[in-house]
Structure 1
């Protein structure tokens, strides 16, 4: 999908302008091999046009765009910086340009996820969630349904606003949210930034839990068993992408559980940004044994035990770990 390359090129160019191209190393999913093929001229042109359209908007967000439009060679150069393999030392960024491809295609939830990792530790996380509703009640509805209903009832800015960027720096003790401006709306940055915090709910019967929409790489049945054994009564909130991490950080949900099927390896760009955001918002993230996630082993979360648990606080976290322990031996994962 050309969008992935477009986002990678845009983010890479902006980071390079801020820090210098020699200082920017990015772990990301897409490389330039396909774009360099002889029959990819049309695709490369589409990517380049999209990148230039995005960068033309940079001043609205307090950033400086290019003086003239980028050529295809400059776009390829920006994408080529996305070839880091990570590791335990040094500084690199990790980027998921379109996390939740199906959500993006369907007009539902998706995220652009960027994190900075230094010596194996995530030190900065940014989640751009363009379709995230400001009213959490809408999170469980499909975006197309939201559009239909909004046309049938009088819209108010508070009711129908959507889109935000959530970010956090390790050790800051806070996670912050910036609502996205509507088209033609002047952005007020950082005056409209506000802190977000995890929910105070620690009673499982009142908690909302998230799980992936897709069943291909996660076990809904095991998650349902854990949920039942620990007393979760609400239906799971199935949301595409790292928006699940954003929902917990904002206090719109309390628990995210993912138990991968045998053979599936989690990639660092699918979790890094969300982990530090939840932690700085007051939550807890670990593998399903209770250990911290390890981002120092390359592009995969090597050594991940059983699955991933993210939640609003230590009481819920301990209950989930106990429920997983009690159920694991009888599972087929």
Structure 2
């Protein structure tokens, strides 16, 4: 019996896996550049290439769905050498992925068609209809240094997340592998690394090894039962500009958490706590005006909730993905097992002075 969203899940998993393989090729084959996206740096090449592959797969299978994606191709049109470099990666990655070709479509015709496909991620989003949201490389700096990054895709229907997939090339395959304090520093895709997380609303969350070709067998994942807060570990962003780390330390102290925080880039944090490698993810506001982007949280939000967790902002509200390209009505993110989420939320509000 075919379950609800089974086709969307299969396409999402295969598209994220293919795009993740492209990003790995970029990391290993391309000379390292700056983080700037106006040059031929690896992050530029990887972002555009991954987005082209994912949108191409979505448009082949769901031509009427809208797409919210991070990149647009204006600079590639103005700089043909960069366009051609990205096109060669996209073309060869598609050719190598024969196992998925029938499901993801016959590939992109040429470099100009690739640019048109990249630009189809320009939807404004909203709470009506089916909208996919893509982050082709989440965790730019993690990607560049060989640390944690993720390729992220989610389907929203009428503003609610229904399907999520996250490719994490540098996380351990072993769901039981504990998070270590240095996991965000240098974790390149050696043997035993590379995970594909996924979830469908109401159907639980899954992890599987990330590999070329057909999907590997998946395993059900769930958050770790947390009975003693002193044994808890929490994840936060590497970059201080992304989350207030001094306030996180105060919160951990008040909760009785004694372990050092694990700092890592990208939605790999959501995947890590969903499978019980970590327990809590805090992303505390650093600015009253900053708005989180929906592509940075949609897939992870669903995967954690389907693994037995709860995800809210610092006021206790569910993340609202139906107001456009940003989480304009939310501030911060708290993800934790359901049993302790209210306790974590209470301490966060105390430390931040939230009423």
Is the pair's TM-score, using the shorter chain for normalization, greater than 0.5?
Answer: yes
1:170 to 2:234 alignment: no
Q: Could you say what the CA RMSD is over the residues aligned between the two structures, in angstroms? A: 2.3
Q: 1:14-33, aligned counterparts within 5 Å?
A: 14-20=57-63, 23-33=64-74
1:317 alignment partner in structure 2: 341
8 Å contact from structure 2 (residues 61, 104) kept in 1? no
Q: 1:138-217, aligned counterparts within 5 Å?
A: 140-142=181-183, 160-172=191-203, 174-181=204-211, 187=213, 189=215, 192-217=217-242
1:4 to 2:47 alignment: yes
2:312 alignment partner in structure 1: 286
* 1:132 to partner: Cα distance: 0.8
* 1:226 to partner: Cα distance: 0.9
Partners of 1:142 and 1:225 lie apart in 2 by 22
1:100 to 2:139 alignment: yes
* 1:57 to partner: Cα distance: 2.9
2:259 alignment partner in structure 1: 234
From the superposition, tell whether residues 320 and 59 of structure 1 become closer, same or farther in structure 2 (CA, over 3 Å): same
From the superposition, tell whether residues 146 and 19 of structure 1 become closer, same or farther in structure 2 (CA, over 3 Å): closer
Which whole-Å deviations, capped at 9, do the CAs of 1:280-315 have from their partners, x for residues lacking one? 11111111121111001101101214x21001x223
Q: Aligned to 1:81, what secondary structure does the other structure show?
A: helix
From the superposition, tell whether residues 138 and 315 of structure 1 become closer, same or farther in structure 2 (CA, over 3 Å): closer
* 1:137 to partner: Cα distance: 3.8
Partners of 2:107 and 2:59 lie apart in 1 by 16
2:170 alignment partner in structure 1: 131
8 Å contact from structure 1 (residues 112, 127) kept in 2? yes
8 Å contact from structure 1 (residues 48, 70) kept in 2? no
1:119 alignment partner in structure 2: 158
Which whole-Å deviations, capped at 9, do the CAs of 1:44-94 have from their partners, x for residues lacking one? 101111111221233234755665763112101211211111011111100
Structure 2 residues not aligned, in runs of 5+: 1-43
Structure 1 residues not aligned, in runs of 5+: 151-159
Partners of 1:316 and 1:62 lie apart in 2 by 44
Which whole-Å deviations, capped at 9, do the CAs of 1:172-194 have from their partners, x for residues lacking one? 1x11112023x7xxx5645x211
2:277 to 216, 228, 252: 252
1:153 alignment partner in structure 2: none
8 Å contact from structure 2 (residues 147, 188) kept in 1? no
Q: 1:68-107, aligned counterparts within 5 Å?
A: 70-107=109-146
Which whole-Å deviations, capped at 9, do the CAs of 1:245-297 have from their partners, x for residues lacking one? 00011110000001121132111100000000111111111111211110011
1:58 alignment partner in structure 2: 97
2:326 alignment partner in structure 1: 300
From the superposition, tell whether residues 143 and 235 of structure 1 become closer, same or farther in structure 2 (CA, over 3 Å): closer
Say which is worse superposed, 68-77 or 242-251, in terms of deviation.
Answer: 68-77
TM-score w.r.t. the length of structure 2 is 0.81
1:48 alignment partner in structure 2: 87
Partners of 1:147 and 1:16 lie apart in 2 by 31
State how many pairs are aligned: 309
Which whole-Å deviations, capped at 9, do the CAs of 1:19-47 have from their partners, x for residues lacking one? 23xx132111111111122xx00011011
